[in-house]
Amino acid sequence: MGFGHAKDLHSVQKIVLEMKSCHDLFIDRTAFTAMVDAMLNCGSIKGALCIFGEILKQAGANVDLRPKPHLYLSMMRAFADWGDYNMVKNLHERLWLDSAGTISLAAQQEADHLLMESALNNGQIDAAVENLTKIINRWKCISWTSRGGMVALRIEVLLGFNKSMLSPYLLPQVLPGNPIERIMLPLETVRPLPGSLELKKVVMRLYREPVVPIIDDWGICIGLLHREDCCEMNAPLSAMMRSPPPCVTTTTSIGHVVDLVLKKKYKMVIVVKHSNLNGTTHGSRAVGVFTAEQLHNVVAPVPEGLKQKHTVRRSLTMF
């Protein structure tokens, strides 16, 4: 593994040959897996495939040698890069039949993403779209920061607005790169409540608003009180709030805050002054908020005219 990380293929091959030459040395699943991973790290897909085939052959007589899901995923990543859709598809099928141990949900999701990626890299756009459709139906969401998310984004570009599978929305009123302070609501406009107040004194406020910021005696925002957490009429608000509240600085981009609201499903994000920070937002004085309701007010579906104007022709150009 050390030579693999150093990408020293010659030394990896030498050690593998030495191990196989020792007739009294039993090579177990861990050693075989290390060999394959090292070969892949060195870029020797053919070498990795040869050892992987040897593992499967010996596993027929010794079930303890059956590969773990990790090894299947390692092989799928390599062939997905190559755009070998048939090989990835075959590994995807055998993952369920021939691997040992539990296949985690994360591993299942990555396997589906790699199948989509291999189809796209092979130029099989329809197959990639079909796999993306299955991913959407099965997993309901996909992270844009993941490898699979980047593949989905490439597919979206190829399909264009008029055939988008993910129903994109625009922010016509704002620029995502602008600081959040340009569109935040000043803290005083959302009327934060003292944490020492009892719920029974402000219960109608929570009936009208889904979330309210909570402050301490010094005016520091210490948490957010959500309507669904209000369960004790005689309890102080601080006992039911969620703390610490999600915070960003005034210079944080609008696009980043929007990502936080969508990804984390925040109903409200607290905005603090950048000058208050010492590497953390804890204890900083809030100057404003950004809410999920605000986001709903600034987004808009792609207009029909824009769909037609910006339709991207299907192409095999990848970027």
pLDDT of 161? 65
Q: pLDDT value at position 306?
A: 47
Burial of 258 (C-beta count, 10 Å sphere; 0-12/13-18/19+):
buried
| Sites in the chain below the pLDDT cut of 70 | 161, 167-170, 274-284, 300-319
Say what the pLDDT of residue 175 is. 85
Domains of the chain with bracketed CATH: 3-159 (1.25.40.10), 180-298 (3.10.580.10)
Task: Please tell me whether the overall predicted TM-score, pTM, comes out greater than 0.95 for this model.
Answer: no
Give the per-residue pLDDT at 305.
53
